[in-house]
Structure 1
Amino acid sequence: MSFTIEERGNPNTQSYRVFFKNAEGKYVSPFHDIPMYADETQHIFHMVVEVPRWTNAKMEIATKDPLNPLKQDIKKGNLRYVANVFPHKGYIWNYGAIPQTWEDPGHKDSDTGCCGDNDPIDVCDIGSKVCSRGEVIKVKVLGVLAMIDEGETDWKVIAINLEDPEAKEFKNIDDVKRLKPGYLEATVDWFRRYKIPDGKPENQFAFNGEFKDKDFAINTIKVTHGFWKALISQQTNAGGLNCKNTCISGEDSSFCCSSDEAKTVVEATCPCGNEDSIPLTVDKWFYYANN
């Protein structure tokens, strides 16, 4: 199963969108139409790459837009770029989401004591390859970090690209500690402090910031898949989320989106044009003492 992207609008502007197509060239939603599993028997998952490693643009699946393309988050009317908190530069992994998952804001997690953040579950790919924006890769799950972001549960799955040359050597979270020393500590540090330049406090973590293992992570993903199933079957109120899809819902469902309707959605956006420059301030480094 393969997927391609179609860029629309001008990169580095608010018009920019990344739409997804399946192998037949039909538009699909990366939130709903891309299967969660790449290989269920081996617990291999699909990951939609939103932000390639070393970049700063806060791209994300637009859960409230038709077809849920990737677009850059907006903060106070401007495109959002994640700040560099020394010694980190941009995202330190390929960052993205597992499709067909949803952290239900109406469900209080028994471990974290907080409700979900209303998004697909996040993934950090620790492989050596720098992926492309919109790339759909297959990942092996290794563990998970339970971040509490402004009072919401925001799971961070740790995984490795199945195509990574070293993927076979990684079977659980302890292998990351052994083979990539310092990476997990840097991950906690990154998530703890990345919002400080925006004037926000440090993020907190459940389990004292300790990573849970592969089995815990896979179970957490399955739980969020269950929440998504309830969402897409209209057992849960979608709120402001756009659940239109081209592959999952039957023709009698209000969530069903025909190929013609999907094409109309894409054609309503601007064709891909020249990119704007990225503000020089994005390269600024911020320094804070570790507490």
Structure 2
Amino acid sequence: MNMSYINEERGKCNTLRYKLFFQKTEGKYISPFHDVPMYADKAQDFFNMVVEVPRWTNAKMEIATKDALNPIKQDVKKGKLRYVANVFPHKGYIWNYGAIPQTWEDPRHTDTETGCCGDNDPIDVCEIGNKVCSTGEVVKVKVLGTLALIDGETDWKVITINVEDPEANAFNSIGDVRWLKPGYLEATVDWFRRYKVPDGKPEKRFAFNGEFKDKDFAINIIKSTNDYWKALVSKKSDGELDCTNTCVSLSPFMCTKEAAQVFVDAVGLSSQVFICRG
């Protein structure tokens, strides 16, 4: 599956009013959380990744799970825009960071592997390819493994590579990352352990003593979070998130193209439109 999406910015970047909406190329607004397919190519176990934070940047951009149509916006803490600190020797996020759509880490489900409940978000992705992606880009990725961050909740971090990366064919397992990018996995653990320390928070903990689980384990986790998402979007489970969508058939939250336009127009800001390839 290869499709294009239109990104529409409302408000100025790095302000409290900034929102990045998604459309299909025919002009229908969609939710990047609910309407972008989880699979980019199911036969090959390639997944879609919605890029929230480009590599080397610091603004904590994220899918707004509690807003109608779930635009990407900058996280806010105590009324101020949130940025992650540069934690030596790292500069900003050290991968392209985002989420796999149509997944949900259910806060009412206790993970049998970690003993903790989900964090109420779509599953997080770290993409390790050479390209610095853009916020709102939809990237086809290959799963390599996963790390389990424990922050009072289970917060999976799936390690992937863009299938269009020139080196993608060489990466097929978490062991390949360890061999071909020496130190990258250790840097990933170090980043997640310490990135909130400058905010006065303690170091983070991990399940499995900070060891990465392999590709098959990671794909099974993704599939389980897709099952929880299906329950969420069909109103069989309640995560107090906004499930408004325009493409999920049989979902009680599905709305018309016209209704979606009303949601976006309610933001009331001038827009800038550009096309991203997925």
Short-chain TM bin? over 0.9
Instruction: In structure 1, list runs of 5 or more residues that go unmatched.
Output: 274-291
Contact 1:47–1:97 under 8 Å retained in 2 = yes
Match of 1:83 in 2: 85
Contact 2:106–2:239 under 8 Å retained in 1 = no
Contact 2:34–2:102 under 8 Å retained in 1 = yes
Query: C-alpha displacement at 1:233, in angstroms?
Result: 1.1
Q: C-alpha offsets along residues 230-251 of structure 1, whole Å, 9 cap, x if unaligned?
A: 1111111232x0001000043x
Contact 1:123–1:156 under 8 Å retained in 2 = yes
Query: Aligned letter for 1:236?
Result: S
Match of 1:271 in 2: 270
Query: C-alpha displacement at 1:256, in angstroms?
Result: 1.5
Contact 2:120–2:239 under 8 Å retained in 1 = no
2:254 aligned residue (253, 256, 264): 256
Query: C-alpha displacement at 1:57, in angstroms?
Result: 0.4
Query: C-alpha displacement at 1:11, in angstroms?
Result: 1.0
Contact 1:10–1:272 under 8 Å retained in 2 = no
Q: Distance in 1 between matches of 2:256 and 2:204?
A: 41
Match of 2:245 in 1: 245
Q: Distance in 1 between matches of 2:157 and 2:6?
A: 25
Q: Distance in 2 between matches of 1:179 and 1:40?
A: 26
Q: Please give the root-mean-square deviation of Cα atoms over the aligned residues, in Å.
A: 1.0
Query: C-alpha displacement at 1:23, in angstroms?
Result: 2.7
* 2:24 is the counterpart of 1:26: no
Match of 2:276 in 1: none
Alignment of 1:173-252 (within 5 A): 173-239=174-240, 241-250=241-250
For normalisation by structure 1, the TM-score amounts to 0.91
Alignment of 1:94-133 (within 5 A): 94-133=96-135
Q: Distance in 2 between matches of 1:53 and 1:115?
A: 28
Q: Distance in 2 between matches of 1:131 and 1:243?
A: 26
Q: Distance in 2 between matches of 1:68 and 1:183?
A: 31
Match of 2:154 in 1: 153
Query: Aligned letter for 1:131?
Result: C
Q: Distance in 1 between matches of 2:18 and 2:137?
A: 16
Q: Distance in 1 between matches of 2:142 and 2:199?
A: 33
The secondary structure found in structure 2 opposite 1:50 is: strand
Q: C-alpha offsets along residues 145-202 of structure 1, whole Å, 9 cap, x if unaligned?
A: 00002x0100000000011000000000000000000000000000000000111111
Match of 1:172 in 2: 173
Query: C-alpha displacement at 1:218, in angstroms?
Result: 0.3
Contact 2:234–2:252 under 8 Å retained in 1 = no
Query: Aligned letter for 2:77?
Result: K
Instruction: In structure 2, list runs of 5 or more residues that go unmatched.
Output: 273-278
Contact 1:65–1:242 under 8 Å retained in 2 = yes
Count of residues paired in the alignment:
269
2:46 aligned residue (33, 44, 47): 44
Contact 1:97–1:121 under 8 Å retained in 2 = yes
Query: Aligned letter for 2:188?
Result: T
Identity over the aligned pairs, expressed in percent?
72
For normalisation by structure 2, the TM-score amounts to 0.95
Query: C-alpha displacement at 1:272, in angstroms?
Result: 3.8
Q: Distance in 2 between matches of 1:6 and 1:272?
A: 6
Query: C-alpha displacement at 1:41, in angstroms?
Result: 0.6
Q: Distance in 1 between matches of 2:217 and 2:99?
A: 17
Contact 1:232–1:249 under 8 Å retained in 2 = no
